[in-house]
């Protein structure tokens, strides 16, 4: 899941018109600023593309591994479908309250909706989630880069990562990163490219064998720890809630909201199904937490131009996306603590090299994403929208609480329970070291 393609949980305290705010600099062009002229200026298909740009990214790399952790192809496919439906419910809930509060305008960010319900405590929570989500995601990106650099340069791959960190530090210290918005499309393109490469590896003469077909049908009994470690990775890859409100703000015909939700999630699900199924069937129980590591070690396919090209494109995209993550974390901290407003370089130094130090040891991508998604994705997708719905819908509906309203409340209650289980289970599983190491 990318963070560099749309506005995140931007706290409402950030200046709306300030040209250097994290809100503006995260906004990479396909959504635009939140000025009134931009409200309702986009048709449903462009909004669908915006959601795809915001969601498709590095988070999908773990999905073949997730299928193995959940016990097999069918278990993984069912989990993907179920969590896609829960994600769609989250978006439907956000749509309901956006249109309730501002039928003719729009809320500026996800955090505005949370703050309306939770007040100042909601503001603090959103600031924490934004910093941890941006910085933790940066650690995950660096873990991926480290693996690719070590594969390309076995003797000094980690030294190359430290050199990249110096570049990231200087860039993350800047007051304006809007020039990076021209590269926002790369995340989506690279995600689709990796799916194509994985499917090609599976259907190639070397990949489509009797053994690979047996791997597709094989299954095992996963432990509770395996499931607890795997489910947050699905949540992370499906997290469109953080970017949805600014996308919905631009939708010209609000009656097409359901189409926006269904088609964007359907396309995301199809991409994930192809990647997860082909990757799992290709490598089975030997699949790595990062599918690119598995492709890179496949004797029949590792040296192909497709795999090498996908790896280079992935490294380029992540390197360009990382400064935006550190920038968002830095700006959020500075907005919360005005006394740090003039400490761009020193604060960026701590954030960048702290993340690099966390990524250098032999830590699995599944571990990093599991912790980040366990805390952040579970809150953003399931817990907070459910709390908003459970608290406000009875007040809005009053005595008319029945039928659709009641069904939505029941699903929100389920979403709250699922989010809580993911939050607790992922931290427990990763503390037990289930996904440590590649």
Rounded mean pLDDT of the chain? 81
Q: Which two tokens stand for residue 251?
A: 């939708």
* Mean pLDDT of the region 192-218: 73
pLDDT at 27 > cutoff 50: no
Q: Where are the alpha helices (DSSP H) in 119-180?
A: 120-152, 157-172
Write down the pLDDT at residue 398: 67
* Contacts (Cβ under 8 Å, ≥6 apart) of 71: 219, 220, 221, 222, 226
Confidence bin at 240 (pLDDT 50/70/90): confident
Rounded to the nearest 5 degrees, what angle is found at the Cα of 379, between the Cα atoms of 377 and 380? Answer: 65
Rounded to the nearest 5 degrees, what angle is found at the Cα of 37, between the Cα atoms of 33 and 43? Answer: 85
Domains of the chain: 22-431 (1.20.1740.10)
Is-contact 160 153, C-beta < 8 A? yes
pLDDT at 438 > cutoff 50: no
Q: Which of 409, 364, 366, 365 is nearest to 390 (CA)?
A: 409
Q: What digits encode the pLDDT tens for the residues 363-372? A: 888 888 888 8
Higher pLDDT, 243 or 64: 64
Strand, coil or helix: what is 96?
A: helix
Q: Which of 98, 126, 117 is nearest to 10 (CA)?
A: 126
Higher pLDDT, 25 or 273: 273
Q: What digits encode the pLDDT tens for the residues 98-133? A: 887 776 657 667 777 788 777 777 788 888 888 898
Q: What digits encode the pLDDT tens for the residues 377-425? A: 888 889 999 998 888 888 877 666 677 888 888 999 999 999 999 998 8
- The three-state (H, E, C) secondary structure of 288-327, written as one string: CCCHHHHHHHCCCCCCCHHHHHHHHHHHHHHHHHHHHHHH
Tell me how far apart the alpha carbons of residues 176 and 190 are, in angstroms, rounded to a whole number: 25
Longest dimension (CA), the chain: 69
pLDDT at 10 > cutoff 50: no
Is-contact 25 41, C-beta < 8 A? no
Write down the pLDDT at residue 71: 87
* Mean pLDDT of the region 5-12: 39
Write down the pLDDT at residue 207: 55
Write down the pLDDT at residue 63: 94
Write down the pLDDT at residue 22: 35
Write down the pLDDT at residue 105: 57
pLDDT at 301 > cutoff 80: no
Confidence bin at 143 (pLDDT 50/70/90): very high
pLDDT at 228 > cutoff 50: yes
Strand, coil or helix: what is 37?
A: helix
Confidence bin at 248 (pLDDT 50/70/90): confident
pTM of the model: 0.82
Task: Quickly tell me which residue has 């720890």 as its tokens.
Answer: 225
Confidence bin at 356 (pLDDT 50/70/90): very high
Exposure letters 46-80 (e unless 16+ CB within 10 A, then b): ebbbbbbbbbbbbbbbbbbbbbbbbbbbebbbebb
Tell me how far apart the alpha carbons of residues 58 and 104 are, in angstroms, rounded to a whole number: 35
Task: Quickly tell me which residue has 């989990």 as its tokens.
Answer: 79
- Of 16-25, 163-172, 187-196, 380-389, which range is least confident? 16-25
Torsion angle of C-alpha atoms 435, 362, 320, 193, degrees rounded to 10: -50
Q: Which of 305, 339, 375, 337 is nearest to 135 (CA)?
A: 375
- Of 31-40, 328-337, 366-375, 389-398, which range is least confident? 31-40
DSSP at 85: H
Write down the pLDDT at residue 246: 81
Q: Which two tokens stand for residue 371?
A: 């912790």
């Amino acid at each position: 899941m990318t963070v560099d393609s749309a506005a995140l949980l931007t706290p409402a305290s950030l200046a709306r018109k300030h040209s250097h705010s994290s809100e503006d600099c995260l906004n990479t062009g396909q959504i635009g600023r939140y000025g009134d002229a931009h409200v309702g200026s986009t048709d449903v298909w462009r909004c669908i593309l915006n959601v795809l740009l915001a969601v498709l990214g590095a988070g999908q790399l773990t999905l073949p591994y997730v299928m193995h952790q959940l016990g097999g192809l069918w278990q993984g496919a069912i989990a993907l479908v179920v969590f896609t439906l829960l994600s769609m419910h989250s978006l439907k809930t956000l749509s309901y309250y956006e249109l309730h509060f501002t039928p003719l305008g729009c809320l500026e960010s996800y955090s505005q909706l949370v703050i309306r319900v939770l007040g100042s405590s909601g503001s603090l929570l959103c600031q924490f989630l934004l910093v941890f989500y941006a910085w933790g995601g940066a650690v995950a990106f660096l873990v991926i880069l480290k693996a690719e650099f070590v594969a390309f340069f076995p003797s000094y791959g980690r030294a190359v990562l430290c050199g990249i960190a110096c570049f990231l530090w200087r860039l993350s210290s800047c007051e304006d990163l809007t020039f990076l918005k021209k590269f926002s499309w790369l995340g989506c393109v690279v995600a689709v490219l990796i799916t194509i490469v994985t499917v090609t590896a599976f259907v190639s003469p070397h990949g489509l064998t009797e053994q690979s077909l047996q791997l597709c049908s094989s299954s095992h009994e996963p432990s509770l720890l395996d499931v607890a470690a795997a489910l947050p990775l699905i949540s992370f890859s499906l997290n469109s809630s953080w970017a949805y409100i600014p996308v919905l703000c631009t939708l010209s015909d609000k009656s097409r909201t359901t189409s926006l939700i269904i088609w964007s999630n359907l396309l995301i699900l199809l991409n994930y199904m192809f990647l997860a199924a082909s990757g799992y069937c290709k490598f089975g129980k030997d699949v790595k937490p990062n599918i690119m590591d598995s492709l890179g070690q496949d004797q029949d396919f590792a040296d192909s131009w497709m795999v090498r090209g996908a790896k280079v494109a992935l490294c380029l995209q992540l390197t360009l996306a990382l400064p935006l993550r550190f920038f968002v974390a830095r700006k959020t901290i500075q907005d919360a603590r005005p006394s740090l407003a003039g400490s761009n370089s020193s604060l960026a130094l701590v954030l960048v090299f702290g993340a690099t130090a966390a990524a250098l040891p032999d830590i699995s991508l599944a571990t990093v994403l599991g912790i980040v998604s366990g805390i952040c994705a579970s809150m953003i997708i399931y817990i907070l929208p459910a709390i908003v719905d459970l608290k406000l819908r009875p007040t809005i509906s009053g005595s008319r609480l029945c039928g659709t309203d009641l069904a939505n409340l029941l699903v929100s209650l389920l979403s709250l329970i699922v989010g809580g289980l993911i939050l607790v289970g992922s931290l427990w599983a990763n503390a037990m070291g289930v996904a440590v190491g590649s």
